[in-house]
Structure 1
Amino acid sequence: MNEIDLVREALGRPRPTEQETAAAFARVQRDIASGAAARRSRGLTAVSRRLWVGGFGLTAVAAAAAVAVPVLGASPETGPHRSTAPPPAARTVLLVAAQSAERQDDTMRRYWHDTSTSRLYYRLHAPTGDYTVVWARRFEGWTPSNPTGRDCGRRQDLGTRPAGPADQAVWRRAGSPAAFSIPMDRKGFAPMTRKLAAGPPTTACRALPPDGAIFSLGGNVTMKDLRTLPADPNRLKRMLVERFGRSGTDTEPLTRNKTGDSWMFSVARDIILTMPVTPRVRAAAFRMIADLPTVRTIGSVRDAEGRQGTAVAIDEHTSDGDLEHRLIIDQASGTALAYEQLVLKPAGRNAGRAPGSLINSVANLTSGWTDTAPR
């Protein structure tokens, strides 16, 4: 008997509602987890784009990061270890998270405050052999609920270092450099230089732009835009496609890559991860992903911060290979812990990476309303 059958048995009738299925599955999952805990192994995209003004320029900051510098047995080339138990269906995982999200507090205060740590993996070439380094950054933001308020952000470069023990060994053979020259993907751009040591945090506050844009969701959006998104998954999907799913002008036809499953997954992911939407809208975004026919479940994993969650994913075929977009969820709280991007079949700019290796990710550390302004 699989877990869905257990849900149906717990409900006692053949056609439960979506909410009943989610609640019953949560109960079943807790029962399963309590009995399996002793046997469980202890091993182990541009996301939520915030717009910055003034000193940072009006640019979309992609919260990207590579997951799991090898902590508790995780490998940067193969990704975090996960439970060997059969994972539940992705739809069930997402419906449970949706129901939990609806119970979140939604008392608006002066600022939407969020903190994240992002990591990017780079494959470097050296005479002693190729190795992977990870560049980590921490970001903290205070987005005003009032359009006349000041938008503040604090950033810190956490340093760049070899991603794992094997990479560290090759790095040492290369002379243990304290800085890394990272080639840019685009022609004509000079390589980036990243240092081993972390840098000091920097904080900047600026007035919002005249249009009030605070985030990018396929297009620039204001706090009012986010707070008035429809809470019905079908209406939400239709509105996102109509407003942001068009290429070029509003008179051009919808493009496949802008309205396909991978695009819808990425937009819903951004809403879920850190944006100041209402709990009902966050729940609708979970349900919107649950309705995508190509979404699949991975099971129990740990993110870069060592937190355990349930991962769902969607694949995308690109000129840089077949990619996996992964969202790690805490079903009990209805929050997303992290987003990860992996390459499944390397090609193009990812040709030098191993299949299954991590490219980038972001770990959502905190997100919620506060009246406390940054110092």
Structure 2
Amino acid sequence: MDDYQAVRELLPAPPLSPEVERAGRERLAAAFARERVRRSRRTARWSALGLGMAGAAAAAAIVFAQSVPTGAPATSGTVAQADGKRFLLVAAATVAAMPDEGTWWGSREVQGLQYRDPGGRYVLHESTSIETWIPADPEGLTWYRETPQGVRPATPRDEAAWRADGSPTSWTYDGAGEREGPGVVRAEPGEQRTWSTEDWDFRIVTAGKPLTKMGDLPGTPEGLKTLFGGDDRTTVDTAARLLVFAPVTSETRAAAYRLLASTPGVAAVGQVTDVLGRTGQAIEYESGEFALSGRVGATRTRLVIDPVTGKPLSLETRSAADGLLRLYTAIQDSRWADENPLKEKK
């Protein structure tokens, strides 16, 4: 069965919105060349004394892992996709039809994490709104706008426990609990910041091979799997991060969906509601890339996809034991444009 047959059987292709049709010619904004730099920035992501979510998101946006944790399953080859994952082929066919145009890749995201208060009585939800504009020009600067949204109880039940605790507006951590790094967490929203940086070098480095152009990225599942290297867990991690964070070509994006559909370890979840309340189709897998796993036990990562546009909606990591949401990136908008609003309004 080819992808378009799957589309006809499962989801008649709807008209694309003008926003979707602006999706464009892409340069892969990429990661730091050394594993040491990648790990240090990922650790800093959630530190109370770190650089904030946007800078850490840039560092962790897309890295082709060259090693996986001990005990990760090692398999080779691909298998036919299970019927439950056929919606990934629908998404692949949808995004493959998008034209490639534009000089800036813009995205608006909400990044967040949840953790228990120092006394372990209730769960707190910390979030930051981030706008990013990545230039197609490899010599250009990447622009960010970061708006910390503060910390609040995660659910009504947690709010009741928070009130019983005296409704505190700050919490002090010593680095030994679920929240990484010592420091004081405050409830009030933080100050908005807008800045540009050169710390993205617009390359992907994997297995010692630098890729300086988007066109260097394979446009087939087999090509991506070979490029990523490693076992199935590495393949799934990298393909999901590419879809969520990187401005790649429509051809490469479609190939990443097909690769996820054929890789063992990826389970279809069906229709779900993401962290922002949006309905989508989801897959789940055991990630080897999240630093949180060592602090809160085993986790499962969920990729939620809009079945109409083929765009990813969110990447959410939950505790495997109780399903508690730990870490997420929710994409509110992603598109190509000819102007960068942050550059004009710094």
1:135 is matched with which residue?
126
1:371 is matched with which residue?
338
State the percentage of identical aligned residues.
Answer: 27
Matched, 1:200 2:191: yes
2:96 aligned to which of 102, 115, 121: 102
Q: Counterpart of 1:213 in 2: which secondary structure? A: coil
Whether contact under 8 Å (1:158, 1:199) holds in the other structure is yes
Whether contact under 8 Å (1:316, 1:322) holds in the other structure is no
Whether contact under 8 Å (2:107, 2:334) holds in the other structure is yes
Question: Cα deviations across residues 209-250 of structure 1 (Å, max 9, x unaligned)?
Answer: 5xx614778799988444421101101110121xxxxxxxxx
1:71 is matched with which residue?
none
Matched, 1:329 2:305: yes
d(CA) in 1 for partners of 2:171, 2:299: 26
Matches within 5 A, 1:23-172: 23-27=8-12, 60-62=58-60, 89-109=83-103, 111-126=104-119, 130-172=121-163
Whether contact under 8 Å (2:118, 2:177) holds in the other structure is no
d(CA) in 2 for partners of 1:344, 1:266: 17
Matches within 5 A, 1:336-355: 336-345=312-321, 355=322
Instruction: State TM-score, norm by structure 2.
Output: 0.72
- Sort the Cα spacing of 1:113 and 1:316 in 2 relative to 1 into closer, same or farther, 3 A: closer
Matched, 1:20 2:14: no
Segments of 5+ residues of structure 2 without an aligned counterpart are 15-28, 33-37, 42-50, 62-81
Q: Output the aligned Cα RMSD.
A: 3.3
d(CA) in 1 for partners of 2:203, 2:240: 14
1:232 aligned to which of 196, 214, 220: 220
Matches within 5 A, 1:191-340: 191-206=182-197, 208=198, 213-214=201-202, 224-241=212-229, 259-315=230-286, 320-340=296-316
- Sort the Cα spacing of 1:284 and 1:341 in 2 relative to 1 into closer, same or farther, 3 A: same
Whether contact under 8 Å (1:300, 1:309) holds in the other structure is yes
d(CA) in 2 for partners of 1:329, 1:204: 30
Larger Rg: 1
Q: Counterpart of 1:305 in 2: which secondary structure? A: coil
Whether contact under 8 Å (1:90, 1:290) holds in the other structure is no
Q: How big is the shift at 1:322? A: 3.1
- Sort the Cα spacing of 1:62 and 1:161 in 2 relative to 1 into closer, same or farther, 3 A: farther
- Sort the Cα spacing of 1:359 and 1:179 in 2 relative to 1 into closer, same or farther, 3 A: same
In structure 2, give the amino acid aligned to 1:297: A
Matched, 1:184 2:187: no
Moved more, 299-308 or 220-229: 220-229
d(CA) in 2 for partners of 1:186, 1:215: 36
Whether contact under 8 Å (2:142, 2:196) holds in the other structure is yes
d(CA) in 2 for partners of 1:215, 1:192: 34
Whether contact under 8 Å (1:298, 1:312) holds in the other structure is yes
- Sort the Cα spacing of 1:289 and 1:153 in 2 relative to 1 into closer, same or farther, 3 A: same
Q: Counterpart of 1:231 in 2: which secondary structure? A: coil
Segments of 5+ residues of structure 1 without an aligned counterpart are 1-15, 31-47, 64-87, 242-258, 346-354
- Sort the Cα spacing of 1:274 and 1:287 in 2 relative to 1 into closer, same or farther, 3 A: same
Matched, 1:359 2:326: yes
d(CA) in 1 for partners of 2:195, 2:208: 21
Q: How big is the shift at 1:91? A: 2.6
Q: How big is the shift at 1:260? A: 2.8
d(CA) in 2 for partners of 1:137, 1:222: 32
How many residues are paired up?
284
Q: How big is the shift at 1:181? A: 2.2
d(CA) in 2 for partners of 1:174, 1:361: 27
In structure 1, give the amino acid aligned to 2:105: W
Instruction: State TM-score, norm by structure 1.
Output: 0.67
Q: Counterpart of 2:175 in 1: which secondary structure? A: coil
Q: Counterpart of 2:316 in 1: which secondary structure? A: strand
